[in-house]
């Protein structure tokens, strides 16, 4: 609980010089609006002629420093002005509780945030009081974040995003004058690597190397429908419409929980003949074929364990002698194939992208032989304006 003190006194103070063995130093003594008395070192005093060296203060610049502090105190924006007695660890826990109450947050997102707070933020700030986390302190921490090269820019961006979120919530809850994390600059994402996809031959080799028929059908369905792993693990027979030749994507499974698909978008995906035939064969098994049964169940009809399935996928890659592509690259395979025949808006809907910008990563796979003809046409005839341009005499021409 924040300790709120009424600001009913004017902020005031003065500067004074203390002579020490290593040289004179300027100090400030001031009173905050809540009545607290503060004494703070400003910096070494400049006693020579001329412009002060960097980091040194004359009486006038020391008074300017104090004036700036008092102005911040009067406006209520001075860091440390509010005494919360709340540690960052407590604020982080409050933030996670708030996130858990937000039904729109997926369990996987919560796990990521909890992991980032536990591994990166608590070791750095856990015992610090909120009012002590100044912009300068956070910027010094950021300067060393990932300095050993073990963190990618993407991971560093996620860490800073979570920190900003914790402090934003704490600023509102504990009435801090400002969020010091807002001054942090997020590192740029490293350039996105080119998409790596399977060829049709590689897909069939992967299917043939699967541990069992069901795993093989999952591999094939992923490549021919673009469903994410969680969506495949949550798929039920009622969602497979053989007569209509499509699959309804209504749920996703991860971390022991069934949620809505990513981006919250329910969608339908065309069911290509190859995937339809493989699913129809799988549907001839002796059990787990009712409308409410999972298409890809565990031995007792439960959801498959995603981690164990990923291990089987990697083993199948090795047995097939294929490149170590990710399971998600089967989804990219669908996107790069679909864009060659369908419009970008169709592919966006089939893949459940929230933004068409995500779908545009597949555009350069779309064949566009007409582009060369268009460019040839553009250069075939000189525009009339170009033909009418005067030729300048040599002495009037621009140099170079």
Give pLDDT tens digits along the chain (400 positions).
343 444 456 778 899 999 998 899 999 998 877 667 888 899 999 988 888 888 899 999 999 999 888 887 776 666 666 677 889 999 999 999 998 887 567 777 888 999 999 999 999 999 998 888 888 889 999 988 887 888 888 899 999 999 999 999 988 888 777 788 888 888 765 545 578 999 999 999 999 999 999 999 999 999 999 999 999 999 999 999 999 999 999 999 987 888 888 877 789 999 999 999 999 999 999 999 999 999 999 999 999 999 999 999 999 999 999 999 999 999 999 999 999 999 999 999 999 998 898 899 998 888 777 888 888 888 876 655 544 555 555 554 444 4
Contact 365, 336 (CB under 8 A): yes
Q: How many CB atoms neighbour CB 223 within 10 A?
A: 27
Which two structure tokens, joined as six digits, stand for 14? 């003065």
- Distance, in Å, from the CA atom of 378 to the CA atom of 354, rounded to the nearest integer, reads 36
CB atoms within 10 A of CB 3: 11
Question: Does the predicted TM-score (pTM) go above 0.75?
Answer: no
Helix (H) or strand (E) holding 366: none
């Amino acid at each position: 609980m924040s300790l709120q003190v009424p600001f009913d006194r004017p902020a005031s103070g003065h500067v004074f010089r203390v002579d020490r063995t290593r040289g004179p130093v300027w100090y400030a003594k001031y009173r905050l609006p809540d009545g607290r008395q503060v004494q703070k070192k400003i910096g070494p005093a400049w006693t020579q002629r001329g412009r002060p060296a960097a980091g040194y203060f004359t009486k006038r610049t020391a008074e300017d420093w104090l004036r700036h502090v008092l102005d911040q105190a009067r406006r209520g924006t001075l860091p440390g002005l509010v005494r919360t007695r709340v540690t960052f660890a407590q604020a982080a826990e409050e933030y996670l509780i708030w996130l858990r109450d937000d039904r729109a947050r997926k369990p996987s997102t919560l796990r990521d945030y909890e992991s980032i707070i536990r591994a990166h933020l608590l070791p750095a700030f856990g015992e610090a009081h909120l009012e002590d986390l100044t912009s300068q302190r956070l910027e010094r921490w950021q300067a060393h974040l990932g300095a050993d090269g073990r963190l990618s820019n993407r991971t560093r961006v996620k860490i800073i995003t979570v920190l900003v979120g914790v402090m934003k919530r704490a600023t509102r809850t504990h009435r801090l004058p400002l969020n010091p994390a807002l001054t942090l600059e997020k590192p740029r994402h490293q350039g996105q690597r080119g998409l790596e996809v399977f060829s049709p031959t590689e897909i069939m080799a992967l299917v043939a190397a699967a541990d069992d028929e069901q795993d093989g059908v999952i591999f094939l369905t992923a490549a021919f429908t673009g469903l994410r792993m969680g969506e495949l693990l949550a798929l039920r027979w009622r969602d497979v419409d053989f007569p209509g030749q499509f699959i309804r994507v209504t749920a996703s499974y991860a971390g022991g929980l069934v949620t809505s698909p990513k981006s919250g978008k329910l969608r339908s995906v065309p069911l290509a003949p190859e995937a339809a035939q493989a699913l129809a064969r799988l549907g001839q098994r002796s059990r787990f074929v009712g409308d409410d049964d999972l298409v890809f169940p565990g031995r007792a009809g439960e959801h498959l364990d995603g981690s164990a399935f990923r291990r089987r996928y990697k083993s199948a890659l090795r047995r097939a002698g294929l490149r170590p592509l990710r399971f998600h690259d089967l989804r990219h395979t669908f996107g790069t194939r679909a864009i060659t025949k369908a419009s970008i808006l169709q592919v966006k809907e089939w893949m459940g992208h929230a933004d068409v910008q995500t779908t545009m990563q597949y555009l350069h796979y779309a064949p566009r032989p007409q582009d060369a003809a268009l460019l040839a046409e553009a250069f075939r005839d000189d525009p009339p304006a170009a033909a009418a341009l005067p030729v300048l005499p040599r002495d009037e021409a621009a140099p170079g």
